[in-house]
Each structure stands twice: as C-alpha cells, then as structure tokens.
Amino acid sequence: MARPAPNALDYIAYRVVAAALMVFTSLQFVAFFVLVYAAYRVMPHRGQNWLLVVASYYFYAAWD
C-alpha cells in the first residue's frame, strides 16, 4: 500500500515535536542544566542522588 503524501498538518506536528525535544545544543538544555546544577549544589548528599535520578528521567523523557 502506498503511503500518502505528507500535508501541512503533518509538517507542523513534526516541527512542534522537534521543538519540544531537549538536545545538548539547545537553550532549553542550558536552562535545565543550570537549574539542576544549582539545586544539586545546595542539597545534602542523599537529596543530590534523588535529584539526579529525577532529572535524568526528565531529560531522557524529553529527549525521546
């Protein structure tokens, strides 16, 4: 079965999803990194571990 040609809505949906992805070269990642690093520096050791777990889950969920 032949695949239908993409239309304007498909392109817009693709661009919205692509804009939501967090990649290392985006300003979204810089803001994420600064916030996580600042929170990491002021938390006790046990809190730092949990922060890194939660932040990594968020990062990988935003990436894929």
Average per-residue pLDDT in the chain?
A: 81
pLDDT at 30 (0 to 100): 92
Please say whether the beta carbons of 19 and 62 come within 8 A. Answer: no
pLDDT at 4 (0 to 100): 62
CA 45 to chain centre: 25
- Decide if pLDDT at 12 tops 80: no
* pTM summary value: 0.62
Please say whether the beta carbons of 22 and 63 come within 8 A. Answer: yes
Q: What is the mean pLDDT of residues 25-51?
A: 94
- pLDDT tier for residue 18 given thresholds of 50, 70 and 90: low
